[in-house]
Amino acid sequence: MKNLSENTFSVPFGPQHPALKEPENFMFTVDGERVVDVKIRLGYVHRGGEKAFEARTYTQGLYLVERICGICAMAHQLCYVNNVEALIDIEIPRRADYIRTIIAELERIHSHLLWVGVAGHEVGWDTLFMYAWRDREVVLDLMELTTGNRVLHASNTIGGVRRDLTSEMISRIRKGMKLLKERTNYYKAMIPKERTLMKRAVGVGVLKPQDAVALCAVGPTLRASGIKRDVRRDDPYSAYDETPFDVITYDGCDVASRVLVRVDEILESIKILNYALEHLPSGPIAVRLPRGVPAGENVSMVEAPRGEDIHYLKSNGTDKPERYKVRAPTLANWPAVGAMIKGGYIADIPIVLAAIDPCMSCTDRMTFTEVNSAKSWQWSRDELRRYSLKWRGK
């Protein structure tokens, strides 16, 4: 990379770096301690998941889609079943909608608690990390009780859910939520007073509201910049159309706001859970469907814990999808990370990166960029093969 002046240096960060949990490469141009520019290189954990969908039936795809991300497993699976059910054009039982909402909110609580812990860890406050992860165990145990798995829940099927909630499970969830509400309220009161976190978070990684919109940020990152946008409210799926809840926003536009948004969202999720448990309709939990999906295409959106998750499905009428495309929330947040890091200090890079709750392997795609014209495009394997044959033949 060409230096901007004699005073600037290029600092490579990753793909293997102690501050990053997943391999990704960032090239920072720095002037002293200040970051002048950042170039993000994705693609170290490309797994070819989208292609793998084309070789699997819709039933097998159910479990593959969860493995896009171990933490947003339910969000990805919900997006997948919404797509397939829309193509089959079928209404699923209302009880299944409510159970999906309950599991999705449990997952949001677990993801946000995990993130609060990671944020504490990144600023060197490991006590918060231990406490947040201890509380997360409560949710993971509830997940195991309701779905059978702690992560990768496998709770949905095409046409409903796989396991019903018994009255014992409901009372256990209620008990767990009571405990978590108490603990989260405690963190909420404690975090703004605790200098260990606030000194590292206030005014760090600023993302102005107009930048957040222009750079297409999603989820808590966007809401911490004061923009009220949430798929659950704007385009409701499952039982969110009947569930009252507030979209949490903060105006700080910095890492501290991103912490507070997530802590408040945990409380909001507990509210949604309690409402859903109280208004859980009776009836069947799934409908039997014929194998195979009619030809057509569909796009569905789900609010994953990290932001808006978009899936596209194209079916050709067989029992396997013709094309499946995933836009995970982290991919949408990368451009915003550039804006957050520029002008900040090198030492703040780990917490700013962690603040978007990045999930690298969800994000990796094979994209070709032509350096001279800065043109970018994506190729399928056949197109790539055709191009290589043509180029070699020259």
Partner 1 sequence: MAMQNELVKSLAKKPATLLYPFEKYDSIPGSRGKVVIDITKCIGCGLCIRDCPAFALEMVGKGPTCDMKWYITRCVFCGQCVETCPRSAIIQETTYDLAGAEKAALVIEYKRPKSS
Q: Of the candidates 33, 54, 137, 251, which one interacts with partner 1 according to CB under 8 A? A: 137
* Interface stretch with partner 1, choices 190-198, 205-213, 345-353, 384-392 (CB under 8 A): 190-198
Out of 45, 145, 280, 299, point to the residue binding partner 1 (CB under 8 A): 145
- Separation between Cα atoms, residue 232 and residue 237, nearest integer Å: 7
Please tell me whether residue 277 binds partner 1 under the rule CB under 8 A. Answer: no
Question: Does residue 149 belong to the site contacting partner 1 (CB under 8 A)?
Answer: yes
Q: How many CB atoms lie within 10 A of CB 313?
A: 25
Give the DSSP letter of residue 377: E
Residue 263 to residue 22: CA distance in whole angstroms: 24
User: Is the separation of the CB atoms in 62 and 80 below 8 Å?
Assistant: yes
By CB under 8 A, the count of residues binding partner 1 is 28
368-370 vs 375-377, strand pairing mode: antiparallel
- How far apart are alpha carbons 288 and 294 in whole angstroms? 16
Which CB, 134 or 228, lies closer to partner 1?
Answer: 134
Q: What does the DSSP 8-state code read for residue 38?
A: E
Considering the complex, state which of residue 56 and residue 314 has its C-beta at the smaller distance from partner 1.
56
- List, edge to edge, every strand of the sheet that includes 25-31: 8-13, 25-31, 34-41
Instruction: Check binding of 148 to partner 1 (CB under 8 A).
Output: yes
182 makes contact with partner 1 (CB under 8 A): no
- Contact range with partner 1 by CB under 8 A, out of 20-28, 125-133, 222-230, 357-365: 125-133
**Per CB under 8 A, which of residues 57..76 are in contact with partner 1?**
57, 59-64, 67
- The amino acid present at 267, given as its one-letter code, is L
Q: Are the C-beta atoms of residues 206 and 338 closer than 8 Å to each other?
A: no
Of 25-33, 149-157, 204-212, 226-234, the segment contacting partner 1 by CB under 8 A is 149-157
Q: Classify 235 as helix, strand or coil.
A: coil
Q: Does 54 bind partner 1 (CB under 8 A)?
A: no
Interacting span for partner 1 (CB under 8 A) from 141-149, 202-210, 307-315, 370-378: 141-149
* Cα–Cα dist 392/385, whole Å: 10
Please state the φ and ψ torsions of residue 300, each to the nearest 5 degrees. -135, 150
* 80 is a site residue for partner 1 (CB under 8 A): no
How far is residue 109's CA from residue 116's CA, in Å, rounded to a whole number?
10
- Options 142-150, 251-259, 293-301, 321-329: segment touching partner 1 (CB under 8 A): 142-150
Q: Cα 142 to chain center, whole Å?
A: 21
Q: Is there binding between residue 292 and partner 1 (CB under 8 A)?
A: no
Smaller CB separation from partner 1, 107 or 357: 107
Does 134 engage in binding with partner 1 (CB under 8 A)? yes
**Under rule CB under 8 A, residue 190 binds partner 1:** yes
In angstroms, give the least distance from the CB of 42 to partner 1. 26
Q: Would you count residue 289 as binding partner 1 (CB under 8 A)? A: no
| DSSP-derived secondary structure letter, 345 | B
Q: How far is the CB of 120 from partner 1 (least distance, A)?
A: 11
Asked if 152 is part of the footprint of partner 1 (rule: CB under 8 A), the reply reads yes
Tell me which residue of 65, 375, 78 sits closest to 238, measured CA to CA.
78
* Residue whose entry in the numeric block shows the structure tokens 């899936």: 311
Asked if 3 touches partner 1 (CB under 8 A), the answer is no
Separation of alpha carbons 256 and 274, rounded Å? 28
Kindly list the residues in this chain that would bind partner 1 in the complex (CB under 8 A).
56-57, 59-64, 67, 127-128, 131, 134, 137, 141, 144-145, 148-149, 152, 154, 157, 162-163, 186, 190, 193-194
